[in-house]
Amino acid sequence: MRILAADTEAIEGICFYELLSAALGALVSEPGTPVIVVSDNRACVEVLGKMRGKSAALNSILQRMMVIRPELAGAATLHAYHLSGERNLLADQISRSDISFNRSIFAGIRGAAERDVSGILAALARALPS
């Protein structure tokens, strides 16, 4: 499956998926609300900090995100922090659990909500010509 018209070689690395997840999270946030991304992927954190990547696929995600929500490029809006995998206990738990267990974790957190991001993925795909 092609994601955002990226070629297969470019998306084999985890950074593409980490950045796509961060972009989706940022795009579902309320406009004007600061977005904090915590990732155990240093490359993803660096790409978000610089708002540019070393590959066309990573830059495509950033460019499409900026077309949809240009204010996310502002220094006061999007913050990315690295947290090593062994210290990122919640992400580790989520990545190793099934969806029903994850839903039970977030059910008890005020403001947490499961979101359908298919519309956002479609908007990202349309944001720039392929």
pLDDT in tens, 7-17: 555 555 789 98
Give tens-digit pLDDT for 35-87: 999 998 999 999 999 999 988 889 999 999 999 999 988 778 899 999 987 88
Confirm whether 94 is domain-assigned: yes
**Cβ pair 36, 81 in contact under 8 A:** yes
Confirm whether 45 is domain-assigned.
Answer: yes
Domain boundaries, position 54: 14-127
pTM, full prediction: 0.81
Q: Which residues pair with 80 in a beta bridge?
A: 37
Looking only at the bridges linking them, the beta strands covering 78-82 and 35-39 are parallel
How many domains does the structure of the chain reveal?
A: 1
d(CA 39, CA 60): 20
CA 55 to chain centre: 16
